[in-house]
Amino acid sequence: MTITTLIVPGLNSSGSAHWQSWFETRLPDAVRVIQSDWKRANLPEWSSRIRREIARRSGPVLIAAHSFGALAAVQAAEDYRERVQGALLVAPADPDKFGVAGALPEGPLGFPATLVASANDPWLSVDKAFALALRWGADFVDLGAAGHINAESGFGPWPFGLSLLRQLETRRVWEGGRGAGGTDPVPAAGRRLVTPEAAAALAKWREQPARTRRARSSGSEATIADDVSGFVASPRSAWATVRGNPGV
């Protein structure tokens, strides 16, 4: 069955140099959710556009959302839990800054999710990002000092992020169909989707000078794949714990 990937940008959409635009070139079944007003953060309107795109598809969907788009995506996906294969939530905007915290899910999303955050994101602190991951039952990946994880901070071609998205495709299988009648005996929040080897590779990447790090994050897929060997489709037994783990 075909899985549609919904690309959900944040405010002002995502330009051609953004990783979401690059995702579209790599995923033949990707569909960008278009908002009527990219400059106005209207959660009900944005969410309704996402719901409409999900409803138009008969099969499962993956979501790759950024910034305010991540907030709209989790609200919209609440109504389609059984249809959402997984959601990659990158650099979500701070719900409190937009006055929408009370409109967002207060518990686990009901489908696999990975929240990717940055230590110096101007739109959301890493501690708040981790709190959202806990609240939503999402896996958490801290990229270190990566800004808002957009084109301006060097995230154009992003094979590492694409690996995270593709890993979500198989999570329901690993977890016995969680969200569709299965159970997940290990709480999702607070885990990294990486093997210890891949965690060490990511830590080494974070230690590089910012300029070099940005270049590598935009490098060839082969280069990044070598750096994170063992990252994709790592079994649960090999996942590394997230917070308070030195060097991870």
pLDDT in tens, the chain (248 residues): 689 999 999 999 999 999 999 999 999 999 999 999 999 999 999 999 999 999 999 899 999 999 999 999 999 999 999 999 999 999 999 999 999 999 999 999 999 999 999 999 999 999 999 999 999 999 999 898 999 999 999 999 999 999 999 999 877 544 443 333 333 333 344 444 444 444 555 556 556 554 444 433 333 332 333 333 323 222 222 233 333 222 22
> Do residues 80 and 107 make contact, with C-beta atoms less than 8 angstroms apart?
no
Q: State residue 202's pLDDT score.
A: 55
Q: State residue 170's pLDDT score.
A: 77
Q: State residue 78's pLDDT score.
A: 93
- Whole-structure pTM value: 0.74
> Do residues 109 and 134 make contact, with C-beta atoms less than 8 angstroms apart?
no
Q: State residue 240's pLDDT score.
A: 33
**C-alpha closest to that of 168 among 222, 242, 104, 89:** 89
What dotted CATH number matches 4-190?
3.40.50.1820
Q: State residue 8's pLDDT score.
A: 97
> Using CA atoms, how far apart are residues 69 and 59, in angstroms rounded to an integer?
22
> Using CA atoms, how far apart are residues 29 and 5, in angstroms rounded to an integer?
6
> Using CA atoms, how far apart are residues 228 and 146, in angstroms rounded to an integer?
18
